[in-house]
Amino acid sequence: MAGAPGPGRRPGQSGTREAILAAARRQFAELGYDRTSLRQVALEAGVDPGLVRHFHGTKQELFVAVVELPIDPATALPALLTGDRDAMGERLATFLLEVIESDPVGSPIISLARAAASEPAAARMVRDLVTTRILAPLTQAIGADDAALRASLLGSQVVGLTFARYVVGIEPLASMPREQVAAAIAPTMQHYLTGPIRTTPAAR
Amino acid sequence: MAGAPGPGRRPGQSGTREAILAAARRQFAELGYDRTSLRQVALEAGVDPGLVRHFHGTKQELFVAVVELPIDPATALPALLTGDRDAMGERLATFLLEVIESDPVGSPIISLARAAASEPAAARMVRDLVTTRILAPLTQAIGADDAALRASLLGSQVVGLTFARYVVGIEPLASMPREQVAAAIAPTMQHYLTGPIRTTPAAR
């Protein structure tokens, strides 16, 4: 919280907005959706709660503003999924871990996972966000007939990894260097992207 | 709630315990760890809150009692992981989905996933439970040098699938018949059980 403005001097509107978003990002990631309140966000940002509602409306709207992804999947994914086909899984795994760990406390992917677990209304909101913002561009980038299934399987592995490594802290996944984790899950990403996806038990 | 006992007649102690556990199981799964309270559990079970504390102590202790797994991983896993080596992934995937869906509302795996997301103290509790009760026997059953890493990767896919299919409801995973989902994730399970797990980027 760098230097609160003295009396008679107000921070610019964009500075206030930024302070609110930063506080909200931290609280949603650390406390989860359920236990984050507009009042506590306002307190941390050093503003009146009315101002939070003025800028961002409801808690749900504030959450949507906060989970702005640091990258736009609609542009990043097609670039990752072109070029050497056999290295797609590795490129995607490496990229995802870099994005998630670029800001561990406030990572929107961790906030999304925690919000989804908190209550059915938040789970629906997360479903809509993830489906339209991440899975739809991913499905389009994959481009196969069964691309939606491939995208949802990929998403399930990413969410599970997020939980195991960052939220619950399951070893050895939690402490391994990022590059090792990326290498370990790359074959799964590759399989979901390009491998044969069966939906019937293997004939034996 | 079958026939509340009339005045002068009390249900047996084991009936009361069962009613408390059933209410707690439902509330932990539906409301999540954070929003479940001993008071509301007592209300649903039709008993005094003091009785809940008498039988089960703290909310954390009640949670541990409730997430009693329907099967004992220490006996089930070794049996699943013997026999035809190439079909291990399919056997494990089929078994897991059957266990989870044998009681969708009260599934302990869903409760564990939701509790882990709610608050750091609950996440630590879930980590200890999952590590000792599920991952340790799984690691032992896998038996390879890198078995702990394989077990945690397997666990991450199972948690992610639980989230995508049951908690968030990502399509098409959420609506697919169980057998199709088992077939779709079986190769991933197989890979984590018996495939080569690299922790260095592939040489190219």
* HSE, side-chain direction, 13 A CA sphere, residue B158: 28
Residue B138's contacts (CB-CB under 8 Å, 6 or more residues apart) are: B73, B77, B147, B151, B154, B155
Q: Least CA distance to A114: which residue of chain B?
A: B117
Give contacts of A156 with chain B, Cβ < 8 Å.
Answer: 157, 160-161, 163-165, 170, 173
Contact B84 A167 (CB under 8 A): no
Can you give the C-alpha Rg of chain A in angstroms? 19
Give contacts of B123 with chain A, Cβ < 8 Å.
Answer: 167-169
Give residue A203's pLDDT. 65
Q: Mean per-residue pLDDT for B111-136?
A: 83
Lowest mean pLDDT among A5-9, B83-87, B127-131: A5-9
Reply yes or no on whether the pLDDT at B202 is more than 80.
no
pLDDT, tens digit only, all 204 positions of chain A: 444 444 444 556 778 888 999 999 888 878 878 788 999 999 999 999 999 999 888 888 888 888 877 778 888 888 888 889 899 999 999 999 998 888 755 677 778 888 888 777 788 888 888 888 889 999 999 998 999 999 999 999 999 998 899 888 999 999 999 999 999 999 999 999 999 998 887 765
SS3 helix, strand, coil % of chain B, rounded to 5?
Answer: 70, 0, 30
Reply yes or no on whether the pLDDT at B135 is more than 80.
yes
Contact A127 B170 (CB under 8 A): yes
User: What are the tens digits of pLDDT across the range B16-56?
Assistant: 888 999 999 888 878 878 788 999 999 999 999 999 999 88
Which candidate from B156, B161, B167 shows the least CB-CB separation from A117?
B167
Residue B5 pLDDT level (bands cut at 50, 70, 90): very low
Q: Mean per-residue pLDDT for B124-140?
A: 87
Q: Least CA distance to B201: which residue of chain A?
A: A183
Q: Does A10 or B118 have the greater pLDDT score?
A: B118
Give residue B148's pLDDT. 94
For residues B30 and A80, what is the distance between their CA atoms, to the nearest angstrom? 38
Q: What is the ipTM of this complex?
A: 0.80
Q: Least CA distance to A148: which residue of chain B?
A: B172
Give residue B104's pLDDT. 59
For residues B49 and B41, what is the distance between their CA atoms, to the nearest angstrom? 8
Which of B109, B119, B159 is the best substitution to test chain A (most A C-beta atoms within 10 A)? B159
Give residue B102's pLDDT. 83
pLDDT mean across residues, chain B: 85
Q: Least CA distance to A195: which residue of chain B?
A: B187
Q: Mean per-residue pLDDT for B103-124?
A: 76
Reply yes or no on whether the pLDDT at B6 is more than 50.
no
Contact A170 B156 (CB under 8 A): yes
Give residue A151's pLDDT. 94
Residue B125 burial class via C-beta count within 10 angstroms: exposed 0-12, middle 13-18, buried 19 and up = buried
3-state secondary structure A93-121: HHHHHHHHHCCCCCCHHHHHHHHHHHCHH
Contact B126 A168 (CB under 8 A): yes
How does DSSP classify residue A150?
Answer: H
Which candidate from B118, B160, B202 shows the least CB-CB separation from A32?
B118
Q: Looking at CA atoms only, how far is residue A188 from chain B in angstroms?
A: 6
CA distances from B23 to A106, B11, B26, B42, B47 (A): 35, 16, 5, 8, 11
Give residue B118's pLDDT. 76
Which of A91, A105, A156, A189 is the best substitution to test chain B (most B C-beta atoms within 10 A)? A156
User: What are the tens digits of pLDDT across the range B170-184?
Assistant: 999 999 999 999 999
CA distances from B40 to B6, B26, B35, B103 (A): 22, 11, 10, 22
CA A130-A131-A135 angle, to 5 degrees, is: 90
Packing angle of the helix pair A120-129, A59-66 (nearest 10 deg): 40
Reply yes or no on whether the pLDDT at B1 is more than 50.
no
Buried-state track B134-156, b at ≥16 Cβ within 10 A, e below 16: bbebbbbbbeeeebbbbbbbbbb
Q: Looking at CA atoms only, how far is residue A135 from chain B in angstroms?
A: 9
Mark residue B69 as left, alpha or beta (left: phi above 0; alpha: psi -120 to 50; beta: remaining): beta
* pTM assigned to the model: 0.81
